[in-house]
A = this chain, B = another copy of it.
Amino acid sequence: MPHLPSCPPPAGRHVLAELTGCPPAVLNDAVGLEASFRECAEKGGATLVSSHFHNFSPQGVSGVVVIAESHLTVHTWPEHGYAAVDVFTCGRPEVAEAVMKLLIEALQAGTVHRTSFARGPHSTPARLSGEPVC
């Protein structure tokens, strides 16, 4: 088995989201974002492995959280109120969707466009849905 006994490779779920209308102060706080991402990962049912968040100059944050199921990432442009957020899990697809829902709340997004893809061997990443969610 790969990463976890419950984690066969064909069951990857990758959620890409564009979040706008987020408070700039939230998007420029690397320490706060790291705490939020770790909390959302755990509350959504993922297993934390490590996290790494960086502040850029003059503003903006890039962060990654490695989870046993794959990863979360965020890149922020506080001056645009914009964050690009990804959640990729193997195993139960509802974990990716749950973690993303929690992250959208944590980043206080005004508008979200979210797209979900199936990931796995022998397939082009398959788009499952792509509707605006708020």
Residues of A within 8 A of B (CB): 1-4, 9, 12, 14, 16, 18, 20, 49-50, 52, 54, 56, 58-60, 62, 64, 66, 68, 70-71, 73, 75-77, 79-82, 84, 86, 88, 90, 111, 113-115, 117, 119-125, 127, 130-132
Contacts and interface: CB of A to CB of B under 8 A. Distances in A.
B125 A115 contact: yes
B80 A9 contact: yes
Contacts of A121: 18, 20, 77, 80-82
A124 B20 CA distance: 12
Given A18-B124, A75-B71, A120-B18, A2 B113 contact: no
A14 B12 contact: no
Contact of A62 (B70, B76, B79, B80): B70
A113 B16 CA distance: 18
A81 to B, nearest CB: 8
